[in-house]
A and B are shown apart, each in its own frame.
Chain A
Amino acid sequence: MLTLDSCIGRNNDVPWRIIEEEAVLVSVDRGEVIHLNSVGAQIWNSIESKTKVSEIIEYIYETFDVDKDAAAKDALEFLKRLKEARVIDVS
Chain B
Amino acid sequence: MSAKFLKIEAAGICFRVRIERPRTYLYLKRRFKNFLSKRKPDFTINFIKPDKDLKISRELFEELANNPQSLILIKSEEKYFFSAKSEPSKTIGFIDRNRNECLLYDLFARWPGSFFTDFILFCFYLFFGYRNSFMLHACGLSQNSEGYIFCGPSGSGKSTVARMSKDSQLLSDERLTISKNGEGFYVYGMPWGKAQNNYAKLKGIFFLNRGKKIAFKRLKPSLAASRIIHDASLFLDTSINANILNLVSRVVDLVPCYEMHFSLESPIWEKMPKLN
Contacts and interface: CB of A to CB of B under 8 A. Distances in A.
Task: Please say whether chains A and B are actual partners in one complex.
Answer: yes
Interface of A: 12-13, 15-17, 19-24, 26, 28, 33-35
Interface string B212-239: 0000000011110110011000111010
Chain A interface, >50% SS class: strand
Contacts, number: 48
B: interface residue count bin: 20 to 34
Nearest to B235: A28
Contacts of A21: 222
Interface stretch (B95-103, B162-170, B241-249): B241-249
A58 to B, nearest CB: 27
B252 interface: yes
A19 B249 contact: yes
Given A19-B221, A19-B249, A35 B226 contact: yes
Interface centre among A21, A22, A33, A34 (most CB of B within 10 A): A33
B222 A15 contact: no
B235 to A, nearest CB: 7
Contact of A24 (B222, B234, B235, B236): B222
Given A28-B234, A28-B235, A15 B241 contact: yes
Interface centre among B225, B246, B249 (most CB of A within 10 A): B225
A59 to B, nearest CB: 21
A21 B225 CA distance: 13
